[in-house]
Structure 1
Amino acid sequence: MRVRPARPADAEALRAAVSRAGEATVFDDIGAPLLDVSEVGVREAAASADCCFLVEEDGQPMGLALAHPDEDGKAAELLALWVHPERAGEDVAKRLLKRLAAHLAEEDVDVVRTCTPVDQPSAREFFRSHGFHQQRTQSSHGGEEIVFTAPVDAFL
């Protein structure tokens, strides 16, 4: 498996991989569609992302991470982290987070932040097991969510 920057040309392969996994979209941290996995949607996301990486094996996408630095440049929001269900437990997320962190460190970003709904214990455990720490609970348009953060260097 290799991790590389996502490109607009990855659109069809990523759309097909997500579709074959039985999913219609890549969801954000509150379960709302974040990335339209039509070819056009993926192409637009890859073209406009500040920090977007793809894990592939034999030319097939196995995972995607998408982050966006805050305006002040000291923190970045992890907007999407998708791993093909057949690759769960194979360190795909770990590889994506490491590559994402390396890029963010080059940009002098210190912290990665993400949110998950309070009623999703598996998501909370996933982020905790990957080095994130719970910071606070907040209200959002999707309901109550937990904010997790991790220092960028925790993934390097």
Structure 2
Amino acid sequence: MPKANVLFDIKGSEAERKFADETGLVQNRQGVGCYSTGKEHFVVPDFVVLDQDGNRCLIEYKHGNKLNTDGARGGKLTAEKAKQRYLDSSYGCYRSRRAYAESHLGWNHSLYKMIEMRKIYDRVVVVDPKLNKHSIDPEYQRKVLNKGKANKVEFMTKTEFLDKFDNCLDVGVSEIK
């Protein structure tokens, strides 16, 4: 079983803090051991809950940002290299590239991070308030949503999450070993 004893100074985005306030969930700061391409590293899910059936659920709130498929071959290292290549490009101004990269690229925004977490924990739920809009994009549906669902990653709008996870138990990573 992966280790889950590393604390990170994660503040989360403003949208994640607002989601936490609205739902009453406590943002997670503890790393979860995860494997990609045979190497262990830590990921920090936004929230960790036990659902009504006692399933260990890692919740990722994406506040309308689409997931990408970087890291399909090579995992975290490949996804982070793709992010760095984008930052090193001369496209537009650096400040704009940096903002885009932080909200759309890298391992934190990779579908494969979710798939790797799902291999270890009972449920991985991606909460995306713009899921209904994103799901009508055929390319996103084919590359991300269908692939994620085939690997048992769940996608929900904020409303669906609130309906399905009403009265769930908010816990820390150390409680789900």
Q: Is TM more than 0.5 here? A: no
Structure with more helix by fraction: 2
Structure with more strand by fraction: 1
Q: Structure 2-normalised TM-score?
A: 0.34
Bigger CA radius of gyration:
2
